[in-house]
């Protein structure tokens, strides 16, 4: 990652250099760190055709509506081709009439136009208004369909990205960071739907308009048509030259935006730390520098994007002038009529206008394509725990809950340190096992493995003799009730937070578990009782209150396997003892793993496992360990001596 306080100008210069290098070798990015980037870094962008294919796949289900929109668009566009022909009629047969050029019988006989100039003029004028109205009504209806489809697609792409992102492996979620994921959801996934307009609707209109005018021009004068055809390779060339450069630039801007969003989200998430250390200014400085870098990248891209526009703005007057010169000469020579020339000029404008729109929206198209590219990268990332396709689903009622670890070793993804080694442990159904050990010895990690947030790097974990890898991970997690060391509560009411453990839980069930967790009393004292909003992450509650909500939540899950990681560490001794009693009740026929630094809470466990630097140092009941383990004796001695100094109350807990 770039050094923290590097100025945005230096970072931008480095970016430019890297960008040139990347074009040659296909590597390096700047701004976000490698991990934050979605997709495999260095693989470059997908080709336009591959993006197009993927986009059509995303459109599944919307195709009928799009075809409908395109059909109406075709009708409206074709109707719009009529008025210039009408001007020719007016010029040649009303304004500049000549005896040697009578009104063609085709117009009078087939279309039923009057021969009298004044009536002809009136009929044509009324006709144009009627046609225009019909074209507008049809066109607007089609556009409305297309717009609705855009919104539908936007929602469905966002949902797919969300669905995928919530199933990514934990370490990927951590690497992308919450702000980053939000950025991808909002900016990139949101922009994909724009492609309906920039890649289908607008180009289709241009094709119809171009095709229609070419046909008309061919009928009138094929040389003019050939001249106009020259525009096609020009379009292709400008496209080839610029577009290949623009999309990677937009991709990088989007990566920068993700970085900016990530940082902002993090600053506000850690607002208390920011304030404690008075770092508001440096956070805002960092935010601004990141924004400056993004602005520089955007300005850099502006030039590339505008080059396309400028080329087109030059082409339109040039083409009109050429036509006027050539056509004017033809009129003077008497080959074509003034009406023909006026009509040509009108058609040329009609032909160029959609092309110009296409050209100017080409950059927008590249921007959306870059977003699609990133979205596809994210969707390509493997989901968590997909080793075995034919996994079995477990049903809580039929699970005894024996957990067996065979020689388990674990290294966190992206790390090299083995935090757990040779762990073998057999936890019987209904047994309560306590994990103790120094901070950093791997207790939480072991629970992470049992909860299957990660799979072990070596060895196996089995539930009732079946390897966890062969069990459907979502059905397995439904067996669990976990109170994590770092408690997370959602911004919502107390009732919603407890009820999160089980869909459709009634208020009675929620109150019952709240009573068991000794949370009912404080909840009823809150402003709105169970309907009190607790703020983001539960900021409006005390640490101990948050823990009690988390315990109630785990209880409501009615788990087969209960994992309590320092679940009562923030409580006073009195409340802790009450909760221990209800937890003891709850644990009766459930397998449970309890982590606690306060040994008094785990002394009564069926078995105590002492972890030391990732290994099991000793295990047994409290008495056995006292007799056998030097390490355990030392821990007990240190703690109870400390506690008895603190309060006499702890004396009653002193082990014999
Ligand atoms: N996501 C992670 N990525 C890499 N290493 C990690 C990660 N989480 C924890 N570790 C490392 O794993 C080791 C064990 O951590 P763990 O959280 O299991 O300790 P613990 O026994 O629960 O400690 P405590 O009592 O302080 O909660 C630590 O050295 C820690 O640095
Ligand atoms: Mg821990």
Note the pLDDT tens digit of each residue in 599-637: 888 888 999 999 999 999 999 999 999 999 999 999 888
Residues with CB under 6 A from ligand 1: 412, 415, 419, 437, 439-445, 485
**Residue among 172, 421, 441 whose CB has most ligand 1 atoms within 8 A, to mutate:** 441
pLDDT at 68: 92
Task: List the beta strands (DSSP E) in 290-443.
Answer: 403-411, 418-427, 432-437
* Helix 117-165 vs helix 63-80: crossing angle, to nearest 10: 160
pLDDT at 5: 67
- Please state the φ and ψ torsions of residue 610, each to the nearest 5 degrees: -100, 120
Cβ-contact 153, 232 below 8 angstroms: no
pLDDT at 41: 45
Ligand 2 mean position, distance from CA 445 (Å):
7
pLDDT at 42 over 70: no
Ligand 1 mean position, distance from CA 353 (Å):
63
Please give the structure tokens belonging to residue 457. 């790097």
Residue 566 Cα: closest atom of ligand 1 = 27
Tell me the CB-side half-sphere exposure of residue 374, using CA atoms within 13 A. Answer: 34
Assign 3-state DSSP to the chain and report helix, strand, coil percentages, each to 5.
65, 10, 25
Ligand 1 mean position, distance from CA 258 (Å):
28
pLDDT at 382: 87
Give the CA angle between residues 421, 424, 426 to the nearest 5°.
150
- Please name which ligand lies nearest the alpha carbon of 437: 1
pLDDT at 650 over 70: no
pLDDT at 649 over 50: no
pLDDT at 397: 84
Please give the radius of gyration of the chain, using alpha carbons only, rounded to the nearest integer: 36
**pLDDT (mean) for 333-338:** 84
Place of tokens 């792409």: 157
Distance CA 267, CA 506 (A): 37
Least confident of 47-56, 535-544, 576-585, 610-619: 576-585
Nearest CA to ligand 1 atom 17: 444
pLDDT at 34: 56
pLDDT at 652: 40
512 pLDDT band (50/70/90 cuts)?
A: very high
Kindly list the protein residues that place their beta carbon closer than 5 angstroms to ligand 2, a single-atom ion: 444, 485
Ligand 2 mean position, distance from CA 463 (Å):
23
Nearest CA to ligand 1 atom 6: 412
Report CA 538 to chain centroid distance, whole Å: 25
Q: Are strands 458-463 and 466-467 parallel, antiparallel or unpaired?
A: antiparallel
* Helix 63-80 vs helix 202-220: crossing angle, to nearest 10: 30
Nearest CA to ligand 1 atom 24: 439
Long-range CB contact pairs, 34-38, < 8 A, 24+: 35/175, 35/176, 35/414, 36/175, 36/176, 36/177, 36/180, 36/255, 36/258, 36/259, 36/262, 37/255, 38/176, 38/184, 38/374, 38/377, 38/378, 38/381
pLDDT in tens, 153-192: 999 999 999 999 999 988 888 888 888 888 889 888 988 9
Residue 171 Cα: closest atom of ligand 1 = 1
**pLDDT (mean) for 423-450:** 93
Ligand 2 mean position, distance from CA 221 (Å):
83
- Please name which ligand lies nearest the alpha carbon of 611: 1
Ligand 2 mean position, distance from CA 443 (Å):
6
pLDDT in tens, 388-412: 667 888 888 888 989 999 999 999 9
Cβ-contact 246, 370 below 8 angstroms: no
14 pLDDT band (50/70/90 cuts)?
A: confident
Nearest CA to ligand 1 atom 31: 440
Cβ-contact 471, 407 below 8 angstroms: no
446 pLDDT band (50/70/90 cuts)?
A: very high
More confident residue, 110 or 122: 122
Ligand 2 mean position, distance from CA 647 (Å):
26
Ligand 1 mean position, distance from CA 656 (Å):
33
Single pTM value for the model: 0.79
Q: List alpha helices for 381-491, DSSP H.
A: 443-450, 473-477
- Please name which ligand lies nearest the alpha carbon of 440: 1
Nearest CA to ligand 1 atom 28: 440
Please give the structure tokens belonging to residue 342. 């006026």
Residue 435 Cα: closest atom of ligand 1 = 21
Least confident of 66-75, 346-355, 527-536, 620-629: 346-355
pLDDT in tens, 233-264: 776 776 677 777 788 888 889 889 989 999 99
pLDDT at 2 over 50: no
pLDDT at 514: 93
pLDDT at 31: 47
**pLDDT (mean) for 292-304:** 89
- Please name which ligand lies nearest the alpha carbon of 435: 1
Distance CA 40, CA 518 (A): 49
pLDDT at 104 over 80: no
Ligand 2 mean position, distance from CA 550 (Å):
16
Q: Domains (ranges, CATH) in the chain?
A: 8-379 (1.20.1560.10), 393-479+562-649 (3.40.50.300), 487-558 (3.40.50.300)
**pLDDT (mean) for 453-482:** 91
Ligand 2 mean position, distance from CA 436 (Å):
10
**Residue among 440, 446, 456 whose CB has most ligand 1 atoms within 8 A, to mutate:** 440
* Helix 117-165 vs helix 338-380: crossing angle, to nearest 10: 10
More confident residue, 652 or 561: 561
β-sheet bridge partners, residue 611: 437, 616
Residue 174 Cα: closest atom of ligand 1 = 1
- Please name which ligand lies nearest the alpha carbon of 436: 1
Cβ-contact 15, 30 below 8 angstroms: yes
Q: List alpha helices for 381-486, DSSP H.
A: 443-450, 473-477
Ligand 1 mean position, distance from CA 431 (Å):
25
Average pLDDT over the chain, rounded to an integer: 84
Q: Which of 66, 68, 59 is nearest to 153 (CA)?
A: 59
Least confident of 8-17, 137-146, 441-450: 8-17
Residue 443 Cα: closest atom of ligand 1 = 21
């Amino acid at each position: 990652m770039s050094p923290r306080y590097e100025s945005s100008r230096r970072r931008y210069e480095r970016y430019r250099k890297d960008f040139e290098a990347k074009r040659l070798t296909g590597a390096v990015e700047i701004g976000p760190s490698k991990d934050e980037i979605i997709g495999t870094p260095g693989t470059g962008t997908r080709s336009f055709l591959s993006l197009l294919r993927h986009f059509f796949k995303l459109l599944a289900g919307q195709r009928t509506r799009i075809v409908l929109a395109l059909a109406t668009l075709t009708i409206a566009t074709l109707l719009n081709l009529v008025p210039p022909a009408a001007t020719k009629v007016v010029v040649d047969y009303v304004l500049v009439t000549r005896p040697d050029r009578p009104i063609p019988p085709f117009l009078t006989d087939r279309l039923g136009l009057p021969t009298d100039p004044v009536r002809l003029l009136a009929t044509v004028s009324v006709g144009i208004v009627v046609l225009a109205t019909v074209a507008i009504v049809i066109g607007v209806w089609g556009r409305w369909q297309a717009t609705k489809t855009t919104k539908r697609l936007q929602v469905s792409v966002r949902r797919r990205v969300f669905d995928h992102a919530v199933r990514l492996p934990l370490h990927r979620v951590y690497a992308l960071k919450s702000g980053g994921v939000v950025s991808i959801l909002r900016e990139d996934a949101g922009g994909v739907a724009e492609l309906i307009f920039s890649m289908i609707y607008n180009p289709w209109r241009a094709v119809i308009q171009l095709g229609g005018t070419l046909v008309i021009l061919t009928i009138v004068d094929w040389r003019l048509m050939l001249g106009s055809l020259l525009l096609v390779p020009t379009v292709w060339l400008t496209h080839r030259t610029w577009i290949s450069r623009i999309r990677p630039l937009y991709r990088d801007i989007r990566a920068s935006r993700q970085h900016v969003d990530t940082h902002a989200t993090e600053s506000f998430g850690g607002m208390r730390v920011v304030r404690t250390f008075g770092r508001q200014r440096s956070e805002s400085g960092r935010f601004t520098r990141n924004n400056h870098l993004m602005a520089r990248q955007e300005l850099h891209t502006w030039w590339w994007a505008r080059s396309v526009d400028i080329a087109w703005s030059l082409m339109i007057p040039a083409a009109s002038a050429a036509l006027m010169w050539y056509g004017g000469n033809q009129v003077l020579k008497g080959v074509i009529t003034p009406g023909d020339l006026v009509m040509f000029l009108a058609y040329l404008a009609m032909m160029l206008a959609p092309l110009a729109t296409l050209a100017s929206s080409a950059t927008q198209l590249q921007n959306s394509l870059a977003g699609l590219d990133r979205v596809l990268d994210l969707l390509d990332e493997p989901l968590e725990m997909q080793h075995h396709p034919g996994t079995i689903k477990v049903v809580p009622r039929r699970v005894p809950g024996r957990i067996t670890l065979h020689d388990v070793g674990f290294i966190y993804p992206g790390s090299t340190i083995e935090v757990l080694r040779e762990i073998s442990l057999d936890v019987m159904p209904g047994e309560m096992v306590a994990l103790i050990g120094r901070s950093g010895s791997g207790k939480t990690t072991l629970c992470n493995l049992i909860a299957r947030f990660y799979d072990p790097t070596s060895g196996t974990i089995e539930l009732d003799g079946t390897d966890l890898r062969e069990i459907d991970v979502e059905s397995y997690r439904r067996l669990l009730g976990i109170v994590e060391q770092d408690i997370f509560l959602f911004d919502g009411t107390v009732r919603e937070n407890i009820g999160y453990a089980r869909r459709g839980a009634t208020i009675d069930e929620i109150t019952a578990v709240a009573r068991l967790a000794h949370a009912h009393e404080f909840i009823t004292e809150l402003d709105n009782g169970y309907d009190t909003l607790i703020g983001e992450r539960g900021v409006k509650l005390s640490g101990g209150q948050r823990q009690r909500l988390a315990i109630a939540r785990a209880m409501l899950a009615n788990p087969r396997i209960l994992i309590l990681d320092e679940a009562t560490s923030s409580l006073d001794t009195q409340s802790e003892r009450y909760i221990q009693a209800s937890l003891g009740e709850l644990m009766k026929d459930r397998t449970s793993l309890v982590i606690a630094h306060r040994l008094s809470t785990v002394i009564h466990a069926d078995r105590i496992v002492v972890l030391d630097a990732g290994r099991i140092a000793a295990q047994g009941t409290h008495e056995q360990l006292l007799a056998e383990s030097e390490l355990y004796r030392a821990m007990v001695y240190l703690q109870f001596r400390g506690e008895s100094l603190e309060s006499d109350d702890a004396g009653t807990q002193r082990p014999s």
